[in-house]
Chains A and B, each alone.
Chain A
Amino acid sequence: KQEVTQIPAALSVPEGENLVLNCSFTDSAIYNLQWFRQDPGKGLTSLLLIQSSQREQTSGRLNASLDKSSGRSTLYIAASQPGDSATYLCAVDTNAGKSTFGDGTTLTVKP
């Protein structure tokens, strides 16, 4: 059974700082890995999708990496802004099309 762990559970940083969120998974037989953002009481916004054959994806200030063999992914946020404050979730897709989510990292960027 796939298990997804996100560390840290919460993170508080001053504005402008670069930061890294971590996601690890137990079964490396994945189809893809996706990072999401969730604002309080809201749904999910997809940030980046990394296919199993890829090592990283970039979108603006965000960069996600994937090391399938070690079961790890990181989400790098450059020059953080207060608007980046949210919960970040990683989700691993299996070949069955199901997603297993981590518990998320709640990020607070202080002005």
Chain B
Amino acid sequence: GAVVSQHPSRVICKSGTSVKIECRSLDFQATTMFWYRQFPKQSLMLMATSNEGSKATYEQGVEKDKFLINHASLTLSTLTVTSAHPEDSSFYICSARDGRTGGSQPQHFGDGTRLSIL
């Protein structure tokens, strides 16, 4: 079945560091990928929609300059948390949908990245 690979699975770094998270669709083309954030004991909140070859669409309240998204190919989207601070510590999850078959297909999720900023 479709697989989405997310890397790294865990990051611990100092405040002020920029962190890049990769999301890859391994066996299908993903024209659209989604980035979610999950706080402890809360559900997933959509941060942005990543569109291949164009700018990402951010949800209200999400800082574009803080969370940089690049979707350079049909199989790769990256999320960069710039100058991360402790309040950015969270669980980040990406998902992708097979663009060839449209919205009737389910979203496939990566395993998530646990980001801890000291």
Whether, in the assembled complex, A64 has its beta carbon less than 8 Å from a beta carbon of chain B, the answer is: no
Interface residues on A, range: 20 to 34
Whether A49 touches B106, Cβ cut-off 8 Å, given contacts A43-B111, A43-B112, A98-B49, is yes
Among residues of B, the one whose C-beta sits closest to the C-beta of A106 is B41
- Interface size class, chain B: 20 to 34
Q: Which of B1-56 contact A (CB under 8 A)?
A: 6, 32, 34, 42-46, 49
Complex Cα spacing A93 to B108, Å: 13
Q: Given contacts A42-B111, A43-B111, A46-B109, are A101 and B104 in contact (CB under 8 A)?
A: no
Residues of A close to B112: CB separation below 8 A:
42-44
Query: Is chain A's interface secondary structure helix, strand, loop, or mixed overall?
Result: strand
- Report yes or no: B111 in contact with A31, Cβ–Cβ below 8 A: no
CB proximity of B6 to chain A, nearest CB, Å:
7
Residue B76 is within 8 A (CB to CB) of chain A in the complex = no
Interchain nearest-CB distance for B91 vs A (Å): 8
Task: Point out the residue from B43, B46, B93, B103 that lies within 8 Å of A43, measured CB to CB.
Answer: B93
Q: Are B44 and A32 closer than 8 Å at their CB atoms? A: no
| Residue B71, interface by CB 8 Å | no
Which residues on the B side are within 8 Å of A103 (C-beta)? Answer: 42-43
> What is the bound-complex CA distance between A98 and B36, given in angstroms?
11
B45 neighbours in A (Cβ, 8 Å): 101
Which of B44, B97, B103, B108 contacts A89 (CB under 8 A)?
B44
The residue of chain B having its C-beta at the shortest distance from the C-beta of A45 within the complex is B109
CB distance from A111 to the nearest CB of B (A): 24
In B79-118, the 8 Å CB interface with A consists of 91, 93, 95, 97, 103-104, 106-112, 114
Chain A to chain B: the 4 pairs with minimum beta-carbon distance, closest first: A43-B111, A43-B112, A44-B109, A101-B43
